[in-house]
């Protein structure tokens, strides 16, 4: 019988499981990541002009300063209320992730790390969206002509991949 990646709070933390990381510490880490995201965006806006392209690693990686009022690949950009759809969705997602972290429901460190990255990325972009109605994007993988994104976007994507991996690994371990 396979066990879920979620466990009760009492199982993980009241028994003093060795090596367990307290839930609040994950949120402190998320806050540090939000600060890192904010600093990168401030550095770009202070040192680059809108639509400026600056090669960082030759043809591979460029800083290309854009502002995006939509979501990934500019979805919702042309909707007058798109900003608020994205704000509402982000607030809901961050609240669920924070609840799971604080309740100690995730059984694995990988799953907790994934949720932490999703929270940090969500909050990083939420700050921009609420304050300015758009986010600062600047990371451009030019060699594959990939979308221009930011550090917070990276946190969300990596967090989502790690969360899926956590669920897959837990399912695999449960079969053994």
**Residues with catalytic roles:** 137, 153
Cβ-count burial 114-152 (b if 16+ within 10 Å, e if not): bbbbbbbbbbbbbbbbeeeebbbbbbbebeeeeebbbbb
Provide DSSP, 6-59. Answer: B--HIIIIITT-TTPPPHHHHHHHHHHHHHHHHHHHHHHHHH--TT-EEEEETT
């Amino acid at each position: 019988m396979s066990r879920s990646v979620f466990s009760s709070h009492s199982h993980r933390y009241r028994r003093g499981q060795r090596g367990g990381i307290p839930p609040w510490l994950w949120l402190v880490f998320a806050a540090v990541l939000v600060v890192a995201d904010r600093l990168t965006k401030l550095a770009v806006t202070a040192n680059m002009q809108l639509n400026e392209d600056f090669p960082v690693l030759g043809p591979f990686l460029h800083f290309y300063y854009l502002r995006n009022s939509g979501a990934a690949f500019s979805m919702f950009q042309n909707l007058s209320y798109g900003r608020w759809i994205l704000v509402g969705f982000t607030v809901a997602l961050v609240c669920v992730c924070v609840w799971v972290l604080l309740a100690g429901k995730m059984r694995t460190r990988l799953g907790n790390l994934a949720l932490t990255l999703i929270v940090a990325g969500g909050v990083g972009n939420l700050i921009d969206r609420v304050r300015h109605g758009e986010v600062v994007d600047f990371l451009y993988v030019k060699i594959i002509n990939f979308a221009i994104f930011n550090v917070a976007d990276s946190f969300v994507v990596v967090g989502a991949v790690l969360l899926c991996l956590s669920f897959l690994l837990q399912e695999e371990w449960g079969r053994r």
